Amino acid sequence: MSKYAIGVDFGTESGRAVLVDVADGTEVATAVYPYSHGVIDEKLPIPGKEIRLEPDWALQDPQDYIRTFQNTVPAVLEASGVNAEDVIGIGIDFTACTMLPVKRDGTPLCDLPAFRENPHAWVKLWKHHAAQPEADRINDVARQMDQDWLDRYGGKISSEWFFSKVLQILDEAPEVYAAADRLIEAADWVVWQLTGIETRNSCTAGYKAIWSKREGFPEPSYFGALDPRLENVVDEKMSRDIRPIGDRAGSLTRQAAQWTGLRPGTAVAIANVDAHVAVPAATVTEPGRMVMIMGTSICHMVLGDAEHAVPGMCGYVEDGIIPGLFGYEAGQSCVGDHFAWFVENCVPAAYEEEASKRGMDIHALLEEKAARLRPGESGLLALDWWNGNRSVLVDVDLTGLLLGATLATKPEEIYRALIEATAFGTRVIVDTFQLNEVPVNELVACGGLPEKNKLLMQIYADVTRREIKVTASTQTPALGSAMFGAVAAGKAAGGYDSIYEAAKTMAHLKEESYQPIAENQKVYEKLFAEYLHLHDYFGRGENDVMKTLKKIRAEVRHVA
Amino acid sequence: MSKYAIGVDFGTESGRAVLVDVADGTEVATAVYPYSHGVIDEKLPIPGKEIRLEPDWALQDPQDYIRTFQNTVPAVLEASGVNAEDVIGIGIDFTACTMLPVKRDGTPLCDLPAFRENPHAWVKLWKHHAAQPEADRINDVARQMDQDWLDRYGGKISSEWFFSKVLQILDEAPEVYAAADRLIEAADWVVWQLTGIETRNSCTAGYKAIWSKREGFPEPSYFGALDPRLENVVDEKMSRDIRPIGDRAGSLTRQAAQWTGLRPGTAVAIANVDAHVAVPAATVTEPGRMVMIMGTSICHMVLGDAEHAVPGMCGYVEDGIIPGLFGYEAGQSCVGDHFAWFVENCVPAAYEEEASKRGMDIHALLEEKAARLRPGESGLLALDWWNGNRSVLVDVDLTGLLLGATLATKPEEIYRALIEATAFGTRVIVDTFQLNEVPVNELVACGGLPEKNKLLMQIYADVTRREIKVTASTQTPALGSAMFGAVAAGKAAGGYDSIYEAAKTMAHLKEESYQPIAENQKVYEKLFAEYLHLHDYFGRGENDVMKTLKKIRAEVRHVA
C-alpha cells in the first residue's frame, strides 16, 4: 500500500498543498488557495473602517493561513482519491521573516477586538520594508558593541528580519509589544495551530533572528542597549528551545484534523522556509552543490562542513538547511523583477504587436530576439541593482546602471544585458563562496525562471563556468515540505528516518542540463572583468553617486 | 517698392528656399524640394546596376542641388507674387563638410560615364563616416609632426571633415583622386553653378579644411607625410584664395537665371554653412551670446574678439561666422536623436495607446508626464553619449550611460534624465568656453527643438543658469542665407552693406524667453557635480570600459 505525505507551501499571495507519493516523490495532486486578503499594503481589511498603511508596509491576515489548510488539504485528498489513513506526515514551509504578535494560547493580537484596528497587531510579511530605521539601529549598536554575530550575516542585519520588525512594534506601538505574550514566525505559528504545541525552528531562528546553535541569541545587554524594554525579549516573548530542521514538531490535533480531513495524530514536521526547504527537494544534501531558487529574486543555498564567514552573504546557520551541516545563504534582490520591469516600462508597441500577431508571450519574443545575439555583441553592460544589492555588497541604496548604449541599441540588447548582469551578480556570489572555502562545483536551479527562459540558463552556465542542473519538480518548496513530513513520520510509519534518505528517492533532477560553451565563456570572462570593475567602483564607496542621487531625491520629495 | 532676397538652405534630406522681405525680414514664401535620391547609403541610384555601399557611407547626387534651385525658387516667386526684378540677392547655406570631386569646368566626376559607377566619384555627405582610419592617420601624423593647428580644432580632426574624406578617396580610389581637377565643398560648388565662378568660403575652409586666415593651410610637407601623392593637394585641387563670409561671390549667370526665374546678374553671396549662417539670423553679431542650433544634434556658436584655444571645441575660425570676429563652434552629437531613439525603442505600448487616445504626439505625452517631475525626483542620471561625445571630449567611442534605475523607474523619468543629460552636456561646453576667456552670457536657441519642447528649454535654462531666448524664425538658416544675399547686393541695390546692418532689421527674437528658476538651479548644481564626476571618470580615461566594450563587440562581430 502506497504512503503519502503532504507539503504546504505558504507563499506571498497564496498557499499551495501538494500530495506526494513517499516512495518516489511523485506529485499526485496540487491545490492552491489565494489568500482572501492577499498582501495588505494599503489599508486594513476591516469593513467600514479606513485604516490606511504607511508606504513600505506589507501585512497579512493569519486567518488566511488557516483557510489555506481548510481549502487545499481536503482538495488534494479529493483530487488524488488518497485515503487520509495513507497520509503519514505533513510539513510546511513559509516566507520569512514573516512574523506576528500572539497571546500565550496562540491567538493573534489582530484577532482580538482591542487590537484589530492597530496595524502592528497584524502579520508583518517578509516584504514589509518600514523597519529600516530600526535595522539601522540594530546594526549601529551591534558595531559599537562589537558583536561577533554580525559576521555571520555578511556584516548587516536586514530591515526584513525578525528583530527589526520587533523593534518597530516597540517603537511605534508599545502597547502591542506589551500585550504580545509571544513574538513568533508565522511558520512556527501555523505548526503550532496544527499540533497545539509551540515550537521554534532552527532555520528562521538562525537566518532571521540572530540565533546560532553554538552561541544562542545575542546577550540581553545588547537588546537592552537597543531599548531597555527589549532587554529580555528572548526570555519574555520567544524561546531558547530551538528545534533542528528535520525534527517532528508533534501530531495533528483533532481540530486541525477537522480542518484538513487528515487523521488526528498525523506527524507534523518542524516548520521550514520556502527557499531552504527546496534544497533537499533539489537533491542537494551535501556540500559543493549550490541550489538557486530563481524567480523574482534568487536565493543561493549551499551546504558546508565547516564554519566560514563569507562576506556579504545573507547568513549561515548550523542545521539551518540540512541537519548536521552549515547552511549558507546568499541572495540577489532583483532577477525576474528586472525583466518584469523591463517589459512593463521599456518594450515598444511594435514588439507587443509582433508578439501578439505571432501568439507569443512578450518575454518569449524578447528571448528569441536576444538569443540571436552573441555574447559581447550588444556592447552593453549593466549593474543588476534595480532593487539594491543583497550579496555581496549588502546595500539597498545601490541602484541600476546601463552602460554602452548607442543610437543603434535595440530593446532585445538591453534585455539580454539585464540577464547577463544578473548572471554576473551570481558569478560574484559563487566566486566569493569559493574564495572563502565554501566550494561551489555545480549549480542546481529551481523556481519559475528555469522553466521560462532557456537563454537565461545558458548565460548563467557560460558566466559561472559551471554545469547547471534543473529540478524535475516545478514546486520544489512544497515537495521539500512533503519530504520533511515523511521524515517527521519516520521509517516505521512508512516514511524515512532522515532527510538524506528521503532526498535519495523523493527528489529528482531533469535529464537535460546546461553546459558552459567554451567560446561564450571566453567573451564573458572579459565582460565580467569590466562588470567587477564597475561593481567595486560604484558598490564599494569609491563613487557614491547612487546614494547621493537617492539623498537628493529624498530632499526634493521632502520639500514638496 | 519692397526689395527681397532669397535664401536657399541645403539640408540632409531636402533643399528649402525662403523669400524674405529685405526691409524687416518677413518670410514671405517658402518652398521645399525633397532630394530625389535623398541620402544614398545602400546602393548607387543607377537603374539596372547593383552597386552597394559599405556600412557608414552616405552619398548624395549633385544634380539634386540643381533640381532644388529649379523647383524651389520659381515656387517662392510664384507663391509670393514677387517680381524677379525686386529680388536683389540670393544666398545659400549647406551641410558641411559635404564635398565632391569635379572637373576643371565644375562637372562632377559622378556625372561622367567613366566614373558614374564609382561611389568615390559622388558627393560625400557630412555624415559619411567611413573615413575614420584616414582621420586617425591625419591626427596621428599631426601629433607626430607637432602641428600647431590641431589646437584650433580641440585637438582632433573629425572623420567627417574635408581632408579625411579626400584621403579616403586617395586611399581607396586613386583614379578618382587623379581625375579630380578640383576637390570642393558642395556649398562652394552650388555657388559656382549659380555664378560661373569658383569661389571658396572662409567658413567651410576654416571649420572643415584646416585653413586659417593668418596661417593658411597646413604645409605641403605635412600632406606629403600623409601620402606623397597628397603633398600639393591645396595647390593642385583646391585654392588658397579664401573669401570671407559676407562677400559677394558674383552674379547669377544666364543659365542659373533660367533655372530659377530670377534676373541674370542678381547678386550671389559667398557660400555658408547651415549652422553658422543661423547666427546673425538669431540676432547675434557680437561676442557673449551663444547661439544653439538645436535639432537632432546641437551646434553651439559663439563669437569672440580674440583668439583662444578652447579644449574640445569643433574649431574657431577668424571671419568664420561674422567678418571681423573669431567664430567659435562646439557641438553635441546627439540631442534630438536621443529622444527619437528613446521613443522608438523604449516607450511601452500603454503610452502609445494613451497618446493615441488623447490625440497627442508621443513626445508631447512624455513631455507632459516628465514636466510633472521635479528636478532630482527621478533619482536618475545619464551621460548623453549615445552617439559619442563631440565637445568637449572629442571621442566618438564613448557610449551612453543611465544610472540610478530602480523597479519604480518610469519611462518619463528616463526621458527626462536624457533631456537633463544633454543639458549637462551643454553646461560643460558653456563652462569650458567661459573658463577659456570666451564669455557666454546669454543663450539664443533656434532649430526644431525649441519649438517642440518647452520642458527641455526650461531645463537648459536651469542647468546652464542663463536666460535662453528663441529666434522668431523657425527657418533661421534660410533666413540667414537671405540676409547674406541682401548684403551681397549691397545698400545701393536696396540691401545692406554689412551683415551687422542686415541683422539689426531682418533678424528677430520671440518676446518670451526662458529664465532660470532658482530652486531648480540649486538641485541641478548638485546633479551637475555628479554628472561631471562621471563625465571625467568615463570620458578622460580613468575607466575605459566603453571602449573595451566596443573592442569586444568588434572582435565578436569579426569572428562571426
pLDDT in tens, A311-326: 889 999 999 999 999 9
> How near does any CA of chain B get to the CA of A57, in Å?
16
With H, G, I as helix, E, B as strand and everything else as coil, classify residue B94. Answer: strand
> How near does any CA of chain A get to the CA of B62, in Å?
29
Which A-chain residues 454-493 have CB contacts (< 8 A) with chain B?
Answer: none
Q: What is the pLDDT of residue A560?
A: 62
At B301, which helix (H) or strand (E)? strand B298-304
User: What are the grid coordinates assigned to B458, written together?
Assistant: 526650461
List CB contacts (< 8 A) between A410 and chain B. Answer: 345
Task: Reply yes or no on whether the pLDDT at A61 is more than 90.
Answer: yes
**B318-364 pLDDT per residue, tens:** 999 999 999 999 999 889 999 999 999 999 999 999 999 999 999 99
Query: Distance between CA atoms of A38 and A313, rounded to whole angstroms?
Result: 30
Task: Reply yes or no on whether the pLDDT at A4 is more than 80.
Answer: yes
Interface with chain B: mutation pick from A351, A353, A407, highest number of B CBs within 10 Å: A407
Query: Distance between CA atoms of B76 and A550, rounded to whole angstroms?
Result: 56
CB-CB contact of B503 with B473 (8 Å): no
Segment A338-344 mean pLDDT:
95
Measured between CB atoms, does B400 come within 8 Å of chain A? Answer: yes
Q: What is the pLDDT of residue A270?
A: 98
Integer distance in angstroms from the first to the last C-alpha of chain B? 70
Q: Based on the number of CB atoms within 10 Å of its own CB, is B67 exposed (0-12), middle (13-18) or buried (19 or more)?
A: middle
Q: Check residue A86 and report its DSSP letter.
A: G
Measured between CB atoms, does A378 come within 8 Å of chain B? Answer: yes
Q: Based on the number of CB atoms within 10 Å of its own CB, is B235 exposed (0-12), middle (13-18) or buried (19 or more)?
A: exposed
Q: Determine, for residues A403 and B549 on separate chains, whether the beta-carbon distance falls below 8 Å.
A: yes
Task: Reply yes or no on whether the pLDDT at A518 is more than 70.
Answer: yes
What band does B49 get if pLDDT is binned at 50, 70 and 90?
very high
List CB contacts (< 8 A) between B356 and chain A. Answer: none
Q: Determine, for residues A400 and B377 on separate chains, whether the beta-carbon distance falls below 8 Å.
A: no
What band does B560 get if pLDDT is binned at 50, 70 and 90?
low
List CB contacts (< 8 A) between B555 and chain A. Answer: 376
CB-CB contact of B509 with B469 (8 Å): yes
User: What are the grid coordinates assigned to B141, written together?
Assistant: 601624423
At A411, which helix (H) or strand (E)? helix A411-435
Q: What is the pLDDT of residue A559?
A: 73
With H, G, I as helix, E, B as strand and everything else as coil, classify residue B395. Answer: strand
Q: What is the pLDDT of residue A477?
A: 97
Query: Distance between CA atoms of B188 and B182, rounded to whole angstroms?
Result: 11
Q: What is the pLDDT of residue A545?
A: 97
Which A-chain residues 500-539 have CB contacts (< 8 A) with chain B?
Answer: 523, 526-527, 530, 533-534, 537-538
Match 548582469 to its residue by C-alpha cell: A421
Measured between CB atoms, does B403 come within 8 Å of chain A? Answer: yes
Integer distance in angstroms from the first to the last C-alpha of chain A? 69
ipTM for this model: 0.91
Segment A497-511 mean pLDDT:
97
Backbone angles phi, psi at A443, to 5 degrees: -115, 140
Which residues lie across from B443 on neighbouring strands?
A: B290, B468
Average pLDDT, chain B: 96
List CB contacts (< 8 A) between A352 and chain B. Answer: 348-349
With H, G, I as helix, E, B as strand and everything else as coil, classify residue A180. Answer: coil
Cα angle, residue A483 at apex, residues A481 and A485 outer, rounded to 5°: 70
List CB contacts (< 8 A) between B342 and chain A. Answer: none
What band does B155 get if pLDDT is binned at 50, 70 and 90?
confident
Q: What is the pLDDT of residue B558?
A: 79
Q: Determine, for residues A530 and B553 on separate chains, whether the beta-carbon distance falls below 8 Å.
A: no
List CB contacts (< 8 A) between A334 and chain B. Answer: 407
Query: Distance between CA atoms of B422 and A299, rounded to whole angstroms?
Result: 40
Match 536551479 to its residue by C-alpha cell: A445
Query: Distance between CA atoms of B48 and B37, rounded to whole angstroms?
Result: 15
Task: Reply yes or no on whether the pLDDT at B379 is more than 80.
Answer: yes
Give the percent of chain A with pLDDT over 70: 100
What band does A176 get if pLDDT is binned at 50, 70 and 90?
very high
Q: Determine, for residues A407 and B334 on separate chains, whether the beta-carbon distance falls below 8 Å.
A: yes
Asked whether the CA dihedral B495, B501, B503, B505 is positive or negative, the reply is negative
Segment A412-430 mean pLDDT:
98
* Chain A residue with the nearest C-alpha to that of B402: A402
Q: Determine, for residues B399 and A402 on separate chains, whether the beta-carbon distance falls below 8 Å.
A: no
**B264-316 pLDDT per residue, tens:** 999 999 999 999 999 999 999 999 999 999 998 999 999 999 999 898 899 99
* Chain A residue with the nearest C-alpha to that of B411: A345
- The DSSP annotation for B466-498 comes to S-EEEBS-S-HHHHHHHHHHHHHH-GGGTS-SS
Which residues, including other chains, have CB under 8 Å from residue A22's CB and lie 6 or more apart? A2, A3, A4, A5, A88, A486, A494, A495, A496, A506
Which B-chain residues 227-246 have CB contacts (< 8 A) with chain A?
Answer: none
Query: Distance between CA atoms of B495 and B89, rounded to whole angstroms?
Result: 8
With H, G, I as helix, E, B as strand and everything else as coil, classify residue A89. Answer: strand
* Chain B residue with the nearest C-alpha to that of A351: B349
Beta strands in A258-394 (DSSP E): 267-269, 272-273, 288-294, 298-304, 315-318, 326-332, 381-383
At A123, which helix (H) or strand (E)? strand A123-124
List CB contacts (< 8 A) between B552 and chain A. Answer: 376, 379, 523, 526-527
- Closest partner residue to A543 among B379, B537, B549, by Cβ? B537
**B497-534 pLDDT per residue, tens:** 999 999 999 999 999 999 999 999 999 999 999 999 99
Residue A259 identity (one-letter amino acid)? W
- Closest partner residue to B347 among A348, A375, A557, by Cβ? A348
Backbone φ/ψ region at B487: left (φ over 0), alpha (ψ -120 to 50), beta: alpha
- Closest partner residue to A526 among B376, B401, B552, by Cβ? B552
What band does A307 get if pLDDT is binned at 50, 70 and 90?
very high
Task: Reply yes or no on whether the pLDDT at A506 is more than 80.
Answer: yes
Task: Reply yes or no on whether the pLDDT at A163 is more than 80.
Answer: yes
Segment B158-184 mean pLDDT:
97
Q: What is the pLDDT of residue A493?
A: 97
Q: What is the pLDDT of residue B154?
A: 85
CB-CB contact of B164 with B157 (8 Å): yes
Centroid of chain to Cα A466: 23
Centroid of chain to Cα A56: 18
Measured between CB atoms, does B411 come within 8 Å of chain A? Answer: yes
Task: Reply yes or no on whether the pLDDT at B388 is more than 70.
Answer: yes
Q: What is the pLDDT of residue B217?
A: 98
Give the percent of chain B with pLDDT over 70: 100
Task: Reply yes or no on whether the pLDDT at A285 is more than 80.
Answer: yes
Task: Reply yes or no on whether the pLDDT at B557 is more than 70.
Answer: yes
The most distant pair of C-alpha atoms in chain B lies apart, rounded to whole Å, by 71
User: What are the grid coordinates assigned to A412, written together?
Assistant: 532585445
Q: What is the pLDDT of residue A175?
A: 98
* Chain B residue with the nearest C-alpha to that of A376: B553
Residue A10 identity (one-letter amino acid)? F
**B473-494 pLDDT per residue, tens:** 999 999 999 999 999 999 999 9
